[in-house]
Amino acid sequence: MKFEFYNPTHLIFGAGTLSQLGEIAQKHGKKVLIVTGGGSVKRSGVFDRAVASLKSAGVAVAECTDIEPNPRITSVARGADIARKEGCDVVIAIGGGSTMDASKMIAAATLYDGDPWNLIGHGQDNWVIPTRALPIITVPTLAATGSEMNKGAVISNDESKVKSFVQANCLFPKVALVDPELTLTVPKDQTAYGVCDIITHVTEGYFSGIDGTPIQDRFAEGVIISAIEWGQKAVADGSDIEARTQVQWASVVALNGWVQAGTNYAPPVHMIEHALSAHHNITHGAGLAVLNPAYMRFVAKARPDRFAQFARRIFGLSGVDKDDLTLAMAGIDKFEDFLRSIGCPTRLSEFGIDDALFSQYAEDAVLVVHDENGHLPGRPPLSKADIVTVLKSAL
Ligand SMILES: [Fe+2]
């Protein structure tokens, strides 16, 4: 293992912490742009509570509403225009992963004169990695993407149907204000998709990372086991604050870089899912629920010992009288059973998606990230034909 770890985000975690928003924001600026999604934060009263806290701390407020799921670059440009016109010096995201990712890019695009799509890496020649952004504060209302405490953002281009991502140090939020109470009203299906997203962030590194990372393996297994245990409880009873708290914490640690540190992490399942949701606008976590087991079955053949370890340690399956591959497949079946038990889809047909565009999804996935052979990085790296094989097995 040889690595660096850097994460400067100040994390404030716990039920009721939303009331601290004003006091935190006034340390970073005088006028905030609050970025929100489809309106649930207004219906739930969270928005009003946030504004009250800001105003009582003497912080002025402007608004950018209606960030869509799978946020678009056009929304980023719109948000940046508002921030400039209103003279905002801080961006606060109140919402799920889409809102947080859009907010990060609004914060960067506000200080960038060119086309904001240049700031998103998508295989283009004129990629400009952001180096400046307004201070960002994240207030997640959904436990899923982990965007609250990392430097990544995933943005879609509706014209080109490309969904891509950027990672840059200036996109680390200054503060992540993580209040699990804000997730109490998340519906069952979105709760389940969030749990799947959390687990997939961890399995990506677990299955595509290097050998010889025993401590990271145990971190990863702890997060997966806990997300399964508390995720089931949060889906069964959305008002269970203890379950919501543990799932929210799992979301943070699953993708703030700590579990992946030193593993040489690659996210092939995410790359394939992004291609799929760019074309079909499906919920990210639901797409992952379909793709991850299919991906695991494909790559387990190349690395059965790793997947046998997953079966033993996550699901307590016994390897007695079984070869590694048989045990590996039994573990993946168990994982898929779990996803189905919390209400996740596990087949593309459940979205009404057929094989018509499989080659296109494979092209799009490797366009965004590829190695010197044009393969999607992972272990093993996937050719376009491999990606199509994975997709076919998920029909
Ligand atoms: Fe994700």
Question: Would residue 219 count as lying in a domain?
Answer: yes
* 210 and 145 assigned to the same domain: no
Tell me: the pLDDT tens digits for 352-384?
Answer: 999 999 999 999 999 888 999 999 999 999 999
Question: Would residue 2 count as lying in a domain?
Answer: no
* 161 and 43 assigned to the same domain: yes
Q: How far away, in angstroms, is 375 Cα from ligand 1 center?
A: 21
Q: How far away, in angstroms, is 365 Cα from ligand 1 center?
A: 15
The band of 46, judged by pLDDT with boundaries at 50, 70 and 90, is very high
Residue 155 has pLDDT above 90, yes or no: yes
CB contact at 8 A, 18 and 177? yes
Tell me: the pLDDT tens digits for 97-133?
Answer: 999 999 999 999 999 999 999 999 766 778 899 999 9
* 137 and 164 assigned to the same domain: yes
Q: How far away, in angstroms, is 23 Cα from ligand 1 center?
A: 31
Across 74-170, the runs of DSSP E, i.e. the strands, are 90-95, 136-140, 152-157, 162-167
* 148 and 62 assigned to the same domain: yes
Q: Could you count the other beta carbons within 10 Å of the beta carbon of residue 250?
A: 28
- Pick from 172, 168, 77, 80: which is nearest to 129 by CA? 168
* 115 and 217 assigned to the same domain: no
Q: How many structural domains is the chain composed of?
A: 2
User: Collapsing DSSP states into helix, strand and coil, what is residue 37?
Assistant: coil
Q: How far away, in angstroms, is 274 Cα from ligand 1 center?
A: 9
Share above pLDDT 90 across residues of the chain, in percent, rounded to a whole number: 93
Rounded to two decimals, what is the model's pTM? 0.97
* 304 and 252 assigned to the same domain: yes
* 118 and 199 assigned to the same domain: no
Q: Domain range for residue 77?
A: 10-183
Question: Would residue 4 count as lying in a domain?
Answer: no
Q: Both tokens of residue 81?
A: 């225009």
CB contact at 8 A, 111 and 101? no
* 115 and 238 assigned to the same domain: no
Q: How far away, in angstroms, is 155 Cα from ligand 1 center?
A: 12
* 79 and 139 assigned to the same domain: yes
Q: How far away, in angstroms, is 52 Cα from ligand 1 center?
A: 32
Q: How far away, in angstroms, is 285 Cα from ligand 1 center?
A: 7
In the prediction, which pLDDT does 127 show? 85
Residue 336 has pLDDT above 90, yes or no: yes
Q: CATH code at 40?
A: 3.40.50.1970
Residue 331 has pLDDT above 80, yes or no: yes
User: Collapsing DSSP states into helix, strand and coil, what is residue 383?
Assistant: coil
Share above pLDDT 70 across residues of the chain, in percent, rounded to a whole number: 99
Question: Would residue 5 count as lying in a domain?
Answer: no
Q: How far away, in angstroms, is 320 Cα from ligand 1 center?
A: 35
Q: How far away, in angstroms, is 286 Cα from ligand 1 center?
A: 10
* 167 and 233 assigned to the same domain: no
* 321 and 361 assigned to the same domain: yes
Q: How far away, in angstroms, is 197 Cα from ligand 1 center?
A: 5
Q: How far away, in angstroms, is 258 Cα from ligand 1 center?
A: 16
Q: How far away, in angstroms, is 39 Cα from ligand 1 center?
A: 22
Q: How far away, in angstroms, is 194 Cα from ligand 1 center?
A: 8
Q: How far away, in angstroms, is 195 Cα from ligand 1 center?
A: 10
For 184, the enclosing helix (H) or strand (E) is none
Question: Would residue 3 count as lying in a domain?
Answer: no
- For residue 175, give the DSSP letter: E
In the prediction, which pLDDT does 126 show? 80
Chain-centroid distance, C-alpha 91? 19
In the prediction, which pLDDT does 227 show? 98
Question: How much is the mean pLDDT over the chain?
Answer: 96
Q: How far away, in angstroms, is 154 Cα from ligand 1 center?
A: 9
Domain boundary among 153, 183, 213: 183
Question: Would residue 304 count as lying in a domain?
Answer: yes
In the prediction, which pLDDT does 187 show? 97
Question: Would residue 63 count as lying in a domain?
Answer: yes
- Pick from 124, 136, 24, 149: which is nearest to 79 by CA? 136
Domain boundary among 183, 210, 243: 183
* 135 and 210 assigned to the same domain: no
Q: CATH code at 378?
A: 1.20.1090.10
Question: Would residue 137 count as lying in a domain?
Answer: yes
In the prediction, which pLDDT does 237 show? 98
Q: How far away, in angstroms, is 267 Cα from ligand 1 center?
A: 9
Q: How far away, in angstroms, is 170 Cα from ligand 1 center?
A: 20
Q: How far away, in angstroms, is 147 Cα from ligand 1 center?
A: 9
